Structure 1
Amino acid sequence: MLPIQNSIFKAYDIRGIVGKTLDVGIARQIGQAFGTAARTKGEKTVIIGRDGRLSGPELATALAAGLRDAGVDVIDLGVVVTPMVYFATHVLGAQSGIMVTGSHNPPDYNGFKMVLAGEAIYGDAIQQLYQAIEDGSVEATISVPSGSYRRHDIKQAYLQRIVSDTKLARPMKIVVDCGNGVAGAFAGELYRALGCEVQELFCEVDGTFPNHHPDPAHPENLQDVIRALQNSDAEIGLAFDGDGDRLGVVTKDGQIIYPDRQLMLFAADVLTRHPGREILYDVKCTRHLAPWITEHGGKPLMWKTGHSLVKAKMRETGAPLGGEMSGHVFFKDRWYGFDDGLYAGVRLLELLSRENDPSAVLNALPQSSSTPELQLKLEEGENFSLIEKLQGEAKFPGADDIIKIDGLRVEYPDGFGLARSSNTTPVIVMRFEAESPSALLRIQAEFKRVILAAKPDAALPFP
């Protein structure tokens, strides 16, 4: 049995490499710790599910055993997308759930996304699970009668809930790419039930991901969708990550509509029903989003990156919509407030089906010259100390605003630069946007100047 390592307990979830930092023994201990935490909150039942990874069955079995050790009843949904676990915590009378998923990580990874008593846990709450295992307090509490176990098929209830609340103005022809992730088990059926003609790419669930990586945040993983749209009469392309909670969108002419621009379309619609309300978005999103939200009668609210953090802020503010640049979109309008790539795709098609030329509508959304996410790789822990140093010392002449809610976002009249510490890997994530290529280079040069002043040997991800 592997020794448990604190390094797998990340900011928003637990994630490790199977056979190296994660095995069935650790999965069982996590089940025991989570089950104990659930009982402390008065919860008697925990819902579990797993994605299509090869290590999923054994880890889910061990997790269930650990939960039952802690005296908790287990409802096992089997192979599902992460949003189905979240959905089940709203409809099955149990508010805690764990999804066994490696999300968009390589095939040898797996992990756990957790909801405890109705809240996505993160930060200290995840560290408390580690502490409970490490100090042996979990073992000490397991003298309770073992919990029960039953299987439950949530698919029809989930599909029915979405289809009953959605109406397309006309049938649409779409391409759906699931990258052999678990969304492939459900996406075709869902969109056909809405009246779409669906061309499926890589919808066979295969934990080795033989075709391309299931991560729509990276353009190389969308090339198959782009080709399929060129070679067919399909109007729009949707792509999903490994566990189905993130959405990628491609137009007929091969343009990638990144999530911050998707959010514009969603915000304009949601604000017709929730005028004056907050629309949440993370620090990585385009600077065009705030004026767009204001123009459509909402209050723009920039927040920290991280799906658990956005969900917590949405609960606090009562915001009807939130989104992240990574592709997590959270609808509290007509839905439950959790991130769901399949559902976001449905809401997108509902809006686009009203248009004769959906791609023209998407391409008309405001945009600037921008970079994808760039990563400055560092030693473990160095990412946090460098950002702290920059927040304290860096000067940016000519900047309109310096936002420090999550790293450093420096706003200029003609663009912005961002440097923030990843909460999951030892990197600083950087992103730049500007009204012209020359402005983009100028802002990058400003960041290069302050980073090299703080760390002269930094291997910057841009010239």
Structure 2
Amino acid sequence: MSTPSKDIFKAYDIRGIVGKTLTADVARQIGHAIGSEAQARKVKAIVVGRDGRLSGPDLSDALASGIRAAGVDVIDVGRVATPMLYFAAYELGTLSGVMVTGSHNPPDYNGFKMMLAGDTLAGDDIQRLYQRIKDKDLSQGEGGYRTHDIVEAYLDRITSDVKLERNMNIVVDCGNGVAGAFAPVLFRRLGCRVRELFCEVDGSFPNHHPDPAKPENLQDVIEALAKTDSELGLAFDGDGDRLGVVTKDGNIIWPDRQLMLFAADVLERNPKAKIIYDVKSTRLLKPWILENGGEPVMARTGHSFIKAKIKETGALLAGEMSGHVFFKERWYGFDDGMYAGVRLLEVLSRVEDPSAVLNALPNAISTPELNLKMKAEGENHALIAKLQKSAKFEGADEVNTLDGLRVEYADGFGLARASNTTPVIVLRFEADNAEALERIKADFRRVLSAATDAALPF
């Protein structure tokens, strides 16, 4: 039996191409390693769930058999959104779970997000799983198996806590991801009128890619809002842990601005609370959090890094530019797109014109995420490491190397960081005006062109 490819063991999950780098045999080996790590941490049972991808059932079964081979029990919650798997881990008292998901990756990808004893596995923890397989450092045993339906408990937990001030009329686009099985039900139970777009779960994603971080994937929502009496649009990614928001007039409210609304709401009840945001987020968040009486904390991008930072700081709220929002206040501190949507509606149901409130949030001129594609795995990390040592930016006030290079100027910022999921460098630019934006982009263009011959996306 050959050892799985090291390349699929990423910084905060395991992810590969089905039938090539990720097979049922590989999934079983990974399950055995996770089970062995669970034994070392005195974990007796692990919850297993899967999203709507076509490869999910086979990979989930193989994963479960590997976990059981290490002598750890499996509680199978079936097809659920990633946040429902996390919820099940808390609700069933295991604090441990593995989600079989390819998130927003193309249909031929799948992978695993993992939590053991309350810790999301990332970095060295994930590399240790690979090492266990390679060294055959695996526990042996016969774990039990049972199924459990978590859906009603999840829906009840949310609807018992959140009440809307008025019934809202919304568009929900699930992009044929697994959230389609649950989000429309949840919002209807809260009293919403729901216009469904692509809520049939279909792992081939026949309509558009389930990634609300890309503007092209929100065009159907924008069109539905223009043509109907719906007042707001919500969109979810493939495994339901990220939220996209669109106003009645077709403006996309990016997650860092969503976080402003959430921060103001949480800080009303919890003055001086810490609010975490990632390095990709707008520089307008820091003054906004301060003005609302909170303490801003910048963190590395990545759901597992953010969760670790929440634990470390005791923050009540965190968010990433990619759309992951983590509520610790009244919730568990994991990223949940559907719950974030509910909290958004809770705030906006108090006003007559939700779009006016969202459009009034502080804004700057910015680019979406731009991807500089590299030829091979690891090349992106090598280039960023090189730039961190030697790059000189003109007129910069500060160069933050917490996660790549975030270069702060008096009138904006530029960011270049290595993606932890694909061999690309993620770039983002923001400024007070168009002229400043072009100047900052030109500064990055100069630095990157001197360091790589890859085609720049800006």
Bin for the TM-score computed over the shorter chain:
over 0.9
Confirm whether residue 395 of structure 1 aligns to residue 392 of structure 2. Answer: yes
Partner of 1:132: 132
Confirm whether residue 300 of structure 1 aligns to residue 300 of structure 2. Answer: no
For residues 359 and 203 of structure 1, the distance between their equivalents in structure 2, rounded to whole angstroms, comes to 24
Length-normalised TM-score, structure 2: 0.98
Confirm whether residue 236 of structure 1 aligns to residue 258 of structure 2. Answer: no
Confirm whether residue 454 of structure 1 aligns to residue 455 of structure 2. Answer: no
Partner of 1:352: 348
Q: Secondary structure at the match of 1:169?
A: coil
Confirm whether residue 205 of structure 1 aligns to residue 201 of structure 2. Answer: yes
For residues 164 and 60 of structure 2, the distance between their equivalents in structure 1, rounded to whole angstroms, comes to 37
Q: Secondary structure at the match of 2:170?
A: strand
**Aligned-pair CA distance for 1:395:** 1.7
Partner of 1:99: 99
* Candidates 334, 339, 363, aligned match of 1:338: 334
For residues 248 and 126 of structure 1, the distance between their equivalents in structure 2, rounded to whole angstroms, comes to 29
Confirm whether residue 408 of structure 1 aligns to residue 405 of structure 2. Answer: yes
Partner of 2:122: 122
For residues 39 and 381 of structure 2, the distance between their equivalents in structure 1, rounded to whole angstroms, comes to 34
**Aligned-pair CA distance for 1:380:** 2.5
* Candidates 428, 433, 452, aligned match of 2:430: 433
- What is the one-letter code of the residue matched to 2:91? V
Runs of 5+ consecutive residues of structure 2 not aligned to the other structure: none
Bigger drift between 395-404 and 89-98 goes to: 395-404
Alpha carbons 1:2, 1:21 under 8 Å: kept:
no
Q: Secondary structure at the match of 1:356?
A: coil
Q: Secondary structure at the match of 2:113?
A: strand
Runs of 5+ consecutive residues of structure 1 not aligned to the other structure: none
Q: Deviations over 1:220-265 (max 9, x none)?
A: 1111111111111111000000000000000000000000000000
- What is the one-letter code of the residue matched to 1:110? N
- What is the one-letter code of the residue matched to 2:50? R
- Cα distance change on mapping 1:184 and 1:98 into 2, 3 Å: same
Alpha carbons 2:3, 2:133 under 8 Å: kept:
no
For residues 143 and 451 of structure 2, the distance between their equivalents in structure 1, rounded to whole angstroms, comes to 54
Q: Secondary structure at the match of 1:137?
A: coil
Partner of 2:41: 41
For residues 199 and 2 of structure 1, the distance between their equivalents in structure 2, rounded to whole angstroms, comes to 48
Identical residues among aligned pairs (%): 70
Q: Secondary structure at the match of 2:413?
A: strand
Confirm whether residue 192 of structure 1 aligns to residue 188 of structure 2. Answer: yes
Partner of 1:422: 419
- What is the one-letter code of the residue matched to 1:389? K
**Aligned-pair CA distance for 1:2:** 6.6
- What is the one-letter code of the residue matched to 2:305? L
- What is the one-letter code of the residue matched to 1:81? A
For residues 153 and 170 of structure 1, the distance between their equivalents in structure 2, rounded to whole angstroms, comes to 31
Partner of 1:50: 50
**Aligned-pair CA distance for 1:202:** 0.6
**Aligned-pair CA distance for 1:93:** 1.6
**Aligned-pair CA distance for 1:428:** 1.1
**Aligned-pair CA distance for 1:397:** 2.9
Q: Secondary structure at the match of 2:16?
A: strand
For residues 274 and 409 of structure 1, the distance between their equivalents in structure 2, rounded to whole angstroms, comes to 30
**Aligned-pair CA distance for 1:151:** 0.5
Alpha carbons 1:2, 1:25 under 8 Å: kept:
no
Bigger drift between 389-398 and 406-415 goes to: 389-398
* Candidates 176, 180, 185, aligned match of 1:180: 176
For residues 173 and 347 of structure 2, the distance between their equivalents in structure 1, rounded to whole angstroms, comes to 20
Partner of 1:383: 380
For residues 330 and 416 of structure 1, the distance between their equivalents in structure 2, rounded to whole angstroms, comes to 25
For residues 44 and 313 of structure 1, the distance between their equivalents in structure 2, rounded to whole angstroms, comes to 26
Alpha carbons 1:276, 1:297 under 8 Å: kept:
yes
For residues 3 and 23 of structure 2, the distance between their equivalents in structure 1, rounded to whole angstroms, comes to 9
**Aligned-pair CA distance for 1:318:** 0.1
Bigger drift between 375-384 and 17-26 goes to: 375-384
Confirm whether residue 90 of structure 1 aligns to residue 117 of structure 2. Answer: no
**Aligned-pair CA distance for 1:452:** 2.0
**Aligned-pair CA distance for 1:3:** 4.9
For residues 198 and 136 of structure 2, the distance between their equivalents in structure 1, rounded to whole angstroms, comes to 44
For residues 183 and 337 of structure 2, the distance between their equivalents in structure 1, rounded to whole angstroms, comes to 10
For residues 57 and 370 of structure 1, the distance between their equivalents in structure 2, rounded to whole angstroms, comes to 41
Bigger drift between 407-416 and 157-166 goes to: 407-416
Bigger drift between 337-346 and 432-441 goes to: 432-441
For residues 104 and 382 of structure 1, the distance between their equivalents in structure 2, rounded to whole angstroms, comes to 22
Confirm whether residue 371 of structure 1 aligns to residue 367 of structure 2. Answer: yes
Partner of 2:19: 19
Over the aligned positions, Cα root-mean-square deviation in angstroms equals 1.0
- Cα distance change on mapping 1:21 and 1:2 into 2, 3 Å: farther
**Aligned-pair CA distance for 1:91:** 1.1
Bigger drift between 388-397 and 84-93 goes to: 388-397
Alpha carbons 2:3, 2:134 under 8 Å: kept:
no
Partner of 1:286: 282
For residues 270 and 244 of structure 1, the distance between their equivalents in structure 2, rounded to whole angstroms, comes to 22
**Aligned-pair CA distance for 1:376:** 1.3
Alpha carbons 1:80, 1:182 under 8 Å: kept:
yes
Q: Deviations over 1:318-374 (max 9, x none)?
A: 000000000000000000000000000000000000010000100011111111111
- What is the one-letter code of the residue matched to 2:36? T
Q: Secondary structure at the match of 2:311?
A: helix
Partner of 1:253: 249
For residues 127 and 11 of structure 2, the distance between their equivalents in structure 1, rounded to whole angstroms, comes to 9
For residues 278 and 25 of structure 1, the distance between their equivalents in structure 2, rounded to whole angstroms, comes to 44
For residues 55 and 336 of structure 2, the distance between their equivalents in structure 1, rounded to whole angstroms, comes to 23
Alpha carbons 1:2, 1:23 under 8 Å: kept:
no
Pairs aligned (count): 457
For residues 4 and 363 of structure 2, the distance between their equivalents in structure 1, rounded to whole angstroms, comes to 45
**Aligned-pair CA distance for 1:292:** 0.3
For residues 10 and 380 of structure 1, the distance between their equivalents in structure 2, rounded to whole angstroms, comes to 11
Q: Secondary structure at the match of 2:239?
A: coil
